[in-house]
Amino acid sequence: MKKVLLLNPPGERLYIRDYFCSKVSQADYLTHPVDFVVLSGILAGEYEVGLVDAIAEKLSPERALEAIRRFDPFAVICLFGSVSLPEDLAFAARVRSACPDARLVGIGDVFREDGAKYLGPESPLDALLLDFAAPDILSYLRGDLAAAANMLIRSGGEVLPLRQGTPGPRFEIPVPRHELFSGRGYRHPFVRSRRFATVLTDYGCPFHCSFCVMGTLGFRSRAPESVMAELEHIKNLGITEVLFHTQTFGARKDEARELCRRMISAGLGLGWTCFSRVDVADPDLLSLMREAGCHTVIFGVESGSDEILKKYGKGYTRGQVVSAIDHCAAIGIETVGTFILGLPEETHATMRETLDLLRAIKLDYASINVAVPRMGTPLREEAIAHGLVDGDFAVMDQSGAEVAMGSRSLSREEIAKYRRRAVSAFYFNTRYILRRLARVRSLYDLTRQVKQAAALAANTWFGEK
């Protein structure tokens, strides 16, 4: 059986390259690359699948190359990130030298815009994969290039025209090989066990927030019975925590309810975390999720300004944010709010509204990010049109380690200062610290939170360039 290697290359920083996004880890978390989780199931029927995650395993470039040589792959599928592109391209060239006969396929956010330029004559890459939830990669590896939709492929010195697939409303995948990802150093601040699995129930997102790449991918969902087969496999591996990497859990409410009912009926006993929206996760759905084992929901709050929320296509209001989070607190679900500072229409006044919300809201955790003009998004078009970035702008790190761009009213330096104020306003106050300590459930929980807090503080005040 031929071998296919899934490769997350080494890096100078704690890079997260995942699901057509990339960033530096804000604190000390590192999730399973969901692209690879899904591909492990797709590939396993025809190939021996291996994994080298040099970030999770803290491998130097030399040790990573040695692991690649030992595996002796027929093909390598390699993650790339805009945030780490020079390092990634340099390492790919070394992989090409080490494995001259292997097919080298790239996947990542940087290829979402004008990807063909990365397949020039001097490129170490043979192809780019633009949809990891479809079986096109199998066609490519079999040599059936005509059937390999959603890929950019170099053949005979030329890049073949991109053939977009026409997916329906569903996608189905064989059960991923979660055992490949165990024991490799992955961690997440909101899961409650060292061992956890990442599951994708939907691909893409039906909503179209202008700063997010997910709405540009299309939207497909898996049948609840397919997800259940995967959850049962996870349970059989002895894993009791799941991160649903679905962008909006409940986007198709009937399917979400059916999945929750099946989880309850099967008595899986899994604890889980998911992403959703305050206008999707209504009280009835949240109560069902809670009964099915959900303990944490991550909401995209983004801003405390209704003006900003409307401008950038969120489709809900500050009042709806507060209401949904209050309801979660009432039924015992912890909440995380993600925020984006420095969108083009951001002003001192809208920043103050966000800071006020952060001080008043009942969130358990907050992720404070800065606006990034991601490839293929309306935000990128807006930022270029206003001269906030140029078409070749390469800084794509939303973590705040670097601020990608100023707004029309605020400089990059002012946005960085507001981000530090936001982190301080939420996390580093006595009331919040005492509330978190009161909710510590175990030594692992305490250790996890102390490590995340220390890393967040270090990255916030010392990590910016």
* Shared domain check, 11 and 130: yes
Q: Give the end of a domain, one of 106, 139, 159.
A: 159
15 and 77 assigned to the same domain:
yes
- Note the pLDDT of residue 320: 96
pLDDT at 464: 46
Query: Do both 238 and 350 map to the same domain?
Result: yes
**CA-to-CA dists, residue 327 to 207, 281, 297, 299, 392, angstroms:** 23, 10, 12, 13, 44
Domain boundary among 122, 139, 159: 159
| Residue 419 and residue 283 share a domain | yes
Predicted confidence (pLDDT) per residue in 177-212, tens digit: 999 998 888 999 899 998 999 999 999 999 999 999
399 within some domain: yes
3-class SS at 225?
helix
Tell me the pLDDT of the chain averaged across its residues: 91
Q: Does residue 341 surpass a pLDDT of 70?
A: yes
- pLDDT value of residue 432: 75
Q: Are residues 401 and 292 in the same domain?
A: yes
Report yes or no on 99 lying in a domain: yes
Q: Are residues 107 and 193 in the same domain?
A: no
Residue 173 domain-assigned (yes or no) = no
> Measured between alpha carbons, how far is 335 from 429 in angstroms, rounded to an integer?
18
Where in the sequence is the domain holding 121, given as residue range(s)?
Answer: 3-159
Q: Is residue 38 pLDDT above 50, yes or no? A: yes
Residue 166 covered by a domain: no
Instruction: List beta partners, residue 292.
Output: none
Residue 167 lies in a domain: no
Do residues 348 and 429 both lie within one domain? Answer: yes
Q: For the residues 76-103, what does the mean pLDDT come to?
A: 97
Q: Higher confidence at residue 368 or residue 458? A: 368
pLDDT, tens digit, for every residue of 371-383?
Answer: 988 888 899 999 9
CATH number at residue 282: 3.80.30.20
In this structure, is residue 391 part of a structural domain? Answer: yes
- Indicate which CATH number applies to the domain containing 45: 3.40.50.2300
* Number of domains comprising the chain: 2
Domain membership flag for residue 164: no
165, part of any domain: no
Average pLDDT score over residue span 438-460 = 63
**Among positive and negative, which fits the CA dihedral 305, 310, 313, 314?**
positive
- Residues 150, 227, single domain; the answer is no
Question: Do residues 25 and 153 both lie within one domain?
Answer: yes
47 φ, ψ (degrees, to nearest 5):
-135, 155
What is the H or E stretch that residue 168 is in? none
